[in-house]
Structure 1
């Protein structure tokens, strides 16, 4: 088609003459006819013509369709060179416009396709951005959760540290209190031991001062007076012994109470600051109404769980029976020694317990 149009344009540029015009008319008509057929097919395919029967179905050219365009004067109408030139120009213009429209359509389709691809890529990138944002949000929530866990862990660590400090302070206070108590018990035991030694020495001296029997009446009276005085002194010493026994029983009662509560040091129980009876407490004891048998049983019950052995009844000697008293004093000294040993074992147990607590 383009070759035909080019031929037509070349023919257009050649010099015109009547002879040449007559020679070119068949070629011009054929090229115009071919061009018209091609253009009409394109226009018809694109739907530029109406489907109504009364309407034209193609473009009509004066050089080709003069009988249809001017039927009343078709026989007398002479087609001139300008008519052919006009029809050629019309076909060239329509052909160029069709090509331009086709190119524009292809360009538009390409552009639309590229735009669609870009839109799809944008949507894909948007979805990827949303996915990454969701992942970032999840990471931020995880970081916040970790930060909360760290804060909780710090608070818990501070709480445990406070508890540990309180326990350490409590342990130090208990150790200090127990140390004071231990020293006080040691001093009291030492005082009791010295008191027993004093009583033993006093009884021994009294035995040495015992006079030999005489036959004369004056000596007998003196001896009776001496015996009466010695009896009174022994009664007084017996009262002192009863008073000392009260002190010893009071110490043992408090010591037993402490030993029972010693295993509960981890609870809120506190070691008493003092276990030894005060002077006012001792003065309040009425040794005149002292029940020897009752306190003997109490002492027996106290010493039995400490020694683990059965203990014979004590303080059951008759009045003025010096041998029984000496034996009883020796027995008290032995038991006092055993109590000191038990006390040392208690201290050793305390040290082991402290070591175990530190290791734990």
Structure 2
């Protein structure tokens, strides 16, 4: 079995999961403009600090989150270390007219230039996604266990651009032995999020394929098979909602009742089954709710206005309406993206009431 320090693994900073979202695009645009403006200025910590302040103007979050967002752009390959250059297609990514075009550009940038070992002040030529895809080419498919096991491979000391099937299985056994899945589920979720966004790849029953191969294997069943909730991405989605609560309220609570229930639900606003891949795991398409409120919300018995007031379905009994009528969501939880999702949810409630 490979001798491996299990704390040494593929590490990815992930401040964003929606790569088509305004926050991601705005942050990238600020970084590119800053690099263009100060190309000939050598890297210093002072220069990096100035960039952080510029990013904070368009994305008003704390500086720790700002640094995480910039480092994600570096690791993904959009921006090169030391703030002197960026990928030739980075500007084209921002101005792309469709998300499909962005998907293709994203795939090129990540495949050719991403490195999880990079940081703003650290260069690296180790290409984890390239290594994974080359392994997929050799094997034809990668199981969830194999993808996770790949995160333990020290590519720098590996003498091939991919890993042989027999050796990969030894890493699978090691990942199980050291409890890697339970320890590093966030990092695993980050990797799955990137893979789910890449062109020409598809997950079927937790196995990763090239789309052309999957179509030949599964035929007409492919479309129905792939729309499944990914447990890692969903866990990451819930973690982001919990972190948002911690930041806004100081605790993980039901955002309507303001109570610290032992179990809270990461409730989709636009239903998961109706969401595209970006929307399905976008934390703006979610609210952290108690089981009771989640049930009412999920079944479209209640919705919310842009100001946070509860909208009640005509199907609800009067005593339930009377009990909840004074509750409301805080304005600070209702960012523009979440309001857009709520508009979709309100229409679903109205549609059901119209035929009830």
Q: TM-score, normalised by structure 2?
A: 0.20
Compare the two structures and name the one with the higher helix fraction: 1
State which structure, 1 or 2, has the greater radius of gyration over its C-alpha atoms. Answer: 1
Compare the two structures and name the one with the higher strand fraction: 2
